[in-house]
Every structure is written in C-alpha cells, then in structure tokens.
Amino acid sequence: VSATPAAAAPPADLVVTNLREVVTCDPSRSGGPLGIVPGGALAAREGRIVWVGPEARLGADVTVEPDTEWMDGDGQVALPGFVDSHTHLVFAGSREEEYALRARGASYQEIAAAGGGILSTVCATRAASADELVALALPRLGRALEHGTTTMEVKSGYGLTTADEIKMLEAARRLGALQPVEIHATFCGAHEVPDEYKGRTDAYVDLVVGEMLPAVTGRRLAEYVDVFCEAGVFSVAQARRVLEAGARAGLRAKFHADEFVPLGGAELAAEIGALSADHLLCARVEGVTRMKAAGVTAALLPGTAFFLGLPYAPARAFLDTGVRVALASDFNPGSSMGLNLQLVMTMAVSQMKMSPEEALLGVTLHGAAAMGLEADVGSLVRGKQCDVVLAAVPNWRFVSYFYGVNHVQRVLKRGRLVFER
Ligand SMILES: [Zn+2]
C-alpha cells in the first residue's frame, strides 16, 4: 500500500489514528477496488483531507502542530461519508395507512380512494408552512446523519404550484444551514400532474417551464432539475421540454426514468447528457449502454422495490455495460420510508447481486458522481472534504453483511465531529 507523498502536504489540524481499515473508495490506490489501507490513519486541514496512509508512515509523512487535534479511532473502520443522491426528504403528512392497505393487496385506485397516494402528500405539503416543513424534516436528517449520510440530494415536487415548490426549496435551503448534512436541492415541479391540471398535462408543463423554473432559478434555490418520466405522468417529449429548459437555466438533469414501463428515459438521459437517470427498473439495456457512453450515472433505488414488493432493477445487466451505478434511498412517505444506506447496500448485494464493493461505491463515490460532486465528496482522497464514517465492525463488509442494525459510531463532516453514539 502506498501512502500519499507528503512533500507538499500542509500541516494537519486533525489526525485520526488507530483505524482497523481506512476504506478510501479510491480506485487509483492499491488495495483492491476500494483502495483499502489496513492499519490506516488520516490527516486533514481546514476540513479537507491532506493525507491517508498506513499509520506506520504517519510520523514521516504528516506535519503536525502543537494544536493539532488527535482523534483515537478505537480500532474502528473508516469509510467515506455516505452520499444519498435521491431523496424526497421534505414533505408533510405520512402514509402508513396506505402501507397497511397495500399489504392487504389494495389497488392503486383503492389506495387513492382511501386518501392515499402521492396527491395526499401534495395536499398535506401545500397545507404546511415552510417552518413546519423544516421542523418535520430536521429529525429525519438527524436519522440520516446517524446512519452515516453526510451529503444528500433533496427534491421539491409535493407543492406543484409555484409558491409551494418555492416553499419546499426554501425549506431545503434552511435545512442545509441548520444541521451538518450537506444538502443539494433539485427542482422537481414535474413530479406529478396536480388535480387542477388533470387531463391538461401540457398546460401543466407550460406552468413548470414558464413560471416555476424561472422563479426557482431566479432565487438560486436548486442545482438540478428532475421530472417523473413515466407512462400516465410525463411523456419523454414532455420530460425533454422540462429538462432542456432546466439546462438552459443552469440546472443539471437527474430524473425519474423507466420505473414502471420501458418508456425510453434511459435513452433520453444519454441524449441530453443527464447527470443521472434514476430507478430504471424497466430500462432497456441498450438504453443503459448509451448512458454509459454518455457518462450518465445509473442511480438505483432498491428500497423502493423492497418497500412496494416489486422486482428489483437488473443491476448486473447494467453493470455489464460498464455504466457507473449509484445507490440511493429514494426516501419518501409513499414508496420508500427509509433512509438507512447501510440497509440499501444489503438489498443491493442480496437482491440485485451487486458485489459488496459495488454496493459501497454506490453510496459513496458513485453517489457523488450522480450529483456531480465527485471532486469534493465520495472518497477519502487528498483534497476532498474530510467526510468520514467510523463503524464498529470487524471489517468493512460487516456494514452490509450484518444487516438491519446501525454500525455507525461517529461521523465527521468537513473534519468536524458531528455525530457520536
Ligand atoms: Zn424519487
């Protein structure tokens, strides 16, 4: 295992020692696809990593100062902070009745008739104030952080009016400032067609493109644009309109594609050069091959298939194309009320036959790529943010192998201890 050359490394203000393994997720380092450093240590300055290597090299490679903070890793495993590249974190209301109805075999229509479905969340979110949305989402973020998530994408899409979409995105912005998890917002005004536009989808797309999008970008409230490209919701042509208008306004595309039918979302993602195409349960492999050629990340959300009892995305066929595969929670009150990425990794391995290495890369380096943040987060590499999860496990594989429990003991965000069990 080679250490990062120390010659130009600035003095460290934080050193973490006594780590059983440092799982760098740096494929350019020796130590397998995850670049694992046994008996490792890491050093940071001003929130950025300056050195990662075997602890035996620390004294020779790293300059420390009298006020350098020393942290004992207690023999734990260090991993990059997890990157959740697809969530619907901000919402009001809950849908546990629908969850119970579905278990009894209720149809979509029966669920809607009983007051469930996405439009029930729209109703509750419209009725909530921005303050209420923030207060509801804060403890969810606390749960995400304690499970190792340090960076999260958050979508609008339960407002579906200009004012309510703005309200959701302002809530997301405030959440980013109130707690340690780094938030990046997506404008998803085309998440569903609201009741008042039923049967007039094109008119609703006019509203999204003509009024909502300028209002969002004028306030700099989002970095990405999303659309639910699906049979019965938004067609490929309508999705293209929204995504291209977003791109003209400076928003990068990452969108819901080919979840329930092979509509051509994967092909559209390749054609427009999206950051990611998400779900892809029914995507054609040919479309994913085009995504690979265009550098689009495939973001798979096994928690949704798990929660709805649907077949999983054919991850192996996708991986065979060489496409980069990210894994995210799709946290939302209807189809995936979970944000534990350790459990998502378990689903990826046991249900989608991804290797444990592929699963871990899915919630770290590849999650970062799905958000265009791979220069800053997703791996423990010199120059990147010192976002670190410390897990009390015999080796990194236990994080997904011993499932359904939380292995995270401590979390660092930008070199600062932000969670400790
Ligand atoms: Zn989603």
**Gap between the Cα atoms of 302 and 313, Å rounded:** 7
Inform me whether the pLDDT recorded for 410 exceeds 90: yes
Q: Which residues sit with Cβ closer than 5 angstroms to ligand 1, an ion?
A: 330
Measured from the Cβ of residue 405, the count of other Cβ atoms closer than 10 Å reads 9
Which pLDDT value is given to residue 223?
Answer: 98
Do 79 and 412 contact (CB within 8 A), yes or no? no
Distance (angstroms) between ligand 1 centre and the Cα of 43 equals 36
pLDDT at 296 over 80: yes
Cα(86) to centroid of ligand 1, in Å?
6
- Per-residue model confidence as pLDDT tens digits over 100-131: 999 999 887 788 777 788 999 999 999 999 99
Q: Return the pLDDT at 1.
A: 44
- What separation in Å is there between the alpha carbon of 28 and the centre of ligand 1? 32
45 C-alpha to center of ligand 1: Å?
36
Pair 11, 63: CB distance under 8 Å: yes
Residue 88 CA, ligand 1 centroid: distance in Å: 6
Between the CA of 40 and the centroid of ligand 1 the distance, in Å, is: 37
Grade residue 8 by pLDDT with cuts at 50, 70 and 90.
low
How far is residue 236's CA from residue 233's CA, in Å, rounded to a whole number? 10
**Residue 17 C-alpha to ligand 1 middle, in angstroms?**
39
Judge whether residue 361 has pLDDT over 90.
Answer: yes
The answer to whether residue 261 scores a pLDDT higher than 90 is: no
Task: Give the pLDDT score at 78.
Answer: 98
Contact 298, 326 (CB under 8 A): yes
CA of 385 from ligand 1 middle (Å) equals 27
Cα–ligand 1 centroid distance for 124 (angstroms):
18
Cα–Cα dist 277/266, whole Å: 6
pLDDT grade for 80, boundaries at 50, 70 and 90: very high
Tens-place pLDDT, residues 130-160: 999 999 999 999 999 999 999 999 999 999 9
d(CA 242, CA 116): 27
* Contact residues for 53 (Cβ-Cβ < 8 A; gap 6+): 1, 2, 3, 4, 37, 40, 41, 61
So what's the pLDDT on residue 6? 44
Average pLDDT in the chain? 95
Distance 375 CA to ligand 1 centre (A): 25
Distance from residue 154's CA to the centre of ligand 1 (Å): 10
Query: In the predicted model, is pLDDT for residue 386 greater than 60?
Result: yes
Confirm if 153 and 184 have CB atoms less than 8 A apart: yes
Q: Supply the pTM of this predicted model.
A: 0.96
Residue 125: C-alpha distances to residues 86, 133, 226 (Å): 19, 8, 19
The alpha carbon of 306 and the centre of ligand 1 are apart by a number of angstroms equal to: 14
- For the cut 50, the answer to whether the pLDDT of residue 53 exceeds it is yes
Q: Indicate whether 208 pLDDT > 70.
A: yes
For residue 148, what is the enclosing H or E element?
Answer: none
